[in-house]
């Protein structure tokens, strides 16, 4: 359709001086993804149910839920260029992570000739910048393309609008090949620290590859395995659930008391949902980074959850030993600080998890 003929309520005003019309990503035909409780939360950019309180989940997770890790907007258009206009808030300007990842947006495009979505452009906010207006995509041949724009990993947004050239086609995105989302629950590594840009997290790489919606419930330092989170997840329709929060538990004893109950709360509600249990990717450097020599104990607790499930006849549960995730060679080049993956680390995580995710998608019945 010609966007110049769209309902005027869908546009924020007349075209700008370059002939671009801006439209709110919350409105059709845009598809805003990655927030499982978006409607229940009144359309707020928030990754947990707004009804949750500190009596159910730690205050840190409630605050970090405003960060838009895993959130994206999808659509199709032949516009020769895309602009993005956004208001940012609650940003984290960290000394170990590029601002392009923490507060930036990146864009992927698939032309009719492409098999996969390919990286197109990144928006790089300046320190303290809250109002963003920048080019986010280029399409000089005016092909009808599939577009995906990923939101900041460690920052919040109050509003996001996409600008398309007047006269361009705007269509809904094609349906995902995987019918229901893949949900990840975990730590700062799950949230995306310290990728150079949003599309370079292992969770985003995986979901792009298998063509699934991503729901990212990674909470930096705050993924502690509260049963209320498990119950909320259990109410969702998912294709696969990936459980990777051991890094945030204060002790092996805490992990022991929460890990299997968390898994069982999911399994009792979703007996056929494929579940992938992972241990920390920085297994080899965890003691040096934290001073705690308990990584092997934590791994065995998670392994026992898996073994107990298999012994009980569960055929939809998978175990990934985090010690393998960075590979055998140059694994020490995979992090920023001995803990958080850089882009190489996230890529290696993606390569090791992908075969397991593919296997899980084939066995799932959700």
Domains annotated for the chain, with CATH where assigned, are 3-33+67-171 (2.60.120.260), 182-363 (3.40.50.1110)
* pLDDT at residue 6 tops 70: no
Token duo for residue 298: 């934590």
Rounded percentage of the chain residues whose pLDDT exceeds 70: 95
Whole-structure pTM value: 0.94
**Arithmetic mean of pLDDT, 191-213:** 98
Residues 229-245, mean pLDDT to the nearest whole number: 98
CA distance 38 to 43: 5
Q: What is the mean pLDDT of residues 281-309?
A: 91
Q: Is the pLDDT of residue 353 over 60?
A: yes
Burial, 262: exposed, middle or buried (Cβ in 10 Å; 0-12, 13-18, 19+)? buried
pLDDT at 110 over 90: yes
CA dihedral 184, 197, 123, 157 (to 10 degrees): 30
| 305 has pLDDT over 70 | yes
- Residue 293: pLDDT above 80? yes
Count of other CB atoms within 10 angstroms of residue 256: 18
CA distance 161 to 183: 26
SS3 230: helix
Q: Which of 1-5, 11-15, 44-48, 137-141 has the lowest mean pLDDT?
A: 1-5
Q: Identify the pLDDT of residue 364.
A: 58
For 96-117, give one letter per residue: b (16+ CB within 10 A) or e: ebbbbbbbbbbbbbbeeeeeeb
Q: In which band, very low, low, confident or very high, does the pLDDT at 13 lie, cut at 50, 70 and 90?
A: low
pLDDT category, 2, cuts 50, 70, 90? very low
């Amino acid at each position: 359709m010609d966007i110049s003929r769209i309902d005027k309520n869908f546009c924020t005003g007349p075209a700008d001086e370059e002939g671009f019309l801006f439209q709110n990503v919350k409105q059709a035909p845009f598809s805003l993804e990655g927030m499982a409780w978006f409607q229940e939360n009144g359309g707020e950019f928030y990754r947990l149910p707004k009804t949750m309180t500190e009596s159910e989940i730690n205050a840190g997770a409630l605050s970090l839920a405003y960060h838009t890790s895993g959130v994206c907007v999808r659509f199709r258009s032949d516009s020769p260029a895309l602009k993005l206009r956004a208001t940012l808030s609650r940003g984290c300007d960290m000394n170990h992570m590029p601002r392009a990842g923490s507060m930036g947006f990146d864009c992927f495009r698939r032309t009719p000739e492409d098999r996969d979505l390919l990286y197109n452009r990144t928006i790089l906010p300046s320190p303290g910048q809250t109002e963003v207006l920048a080019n986010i995509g280029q399409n000089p041949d005016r092909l009808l393309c599939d577009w995906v724009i990923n939101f900041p990993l460690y920052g919040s947004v109050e509003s996001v609008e996409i600008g398309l050239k007047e006269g361009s086609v705007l269509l809904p995105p094609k349906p995902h090949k995987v019918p229901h989302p893949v949900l990840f629950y975990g730590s700062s590594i799950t949230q995306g620290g310290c990728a150079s840009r949003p599309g370079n997290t292992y969770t985003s790489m995986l979901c792009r590859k298998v063509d699934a919606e991503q729901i990212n419930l990674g909470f930096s330092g705050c993924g502690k395995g509260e049963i209320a989170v498990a119950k909320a997840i259990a109410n969702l329709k998912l294709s696969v659930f990936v459980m990777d929060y051991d890094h945030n538990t204060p002790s092996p004893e805490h992990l022991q008391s929460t890990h299997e109950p968390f898994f069982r709360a999911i399994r009792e509600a979703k007996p056929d949902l494929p579940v992938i249990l992972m241990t920390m990717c920085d297994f080899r450097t965890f003691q040096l980074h934290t001073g705690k020599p308990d990584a092997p104990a934590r791994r065995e607790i998670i392994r026992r959850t898996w073994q107990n499930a298999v012994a009980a006849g569960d055929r939809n549960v998978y175990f990934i030993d985090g010690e393998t995730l960075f590979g055998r060679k140059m694994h020490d080049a995979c992090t920023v600080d001995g803990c958080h993956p850089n882009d190489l680390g996230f890529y290696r995580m993606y390569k090791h998890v992908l075969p397991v995710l593919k296997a899980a998608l084939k066995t799932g019945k959700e």
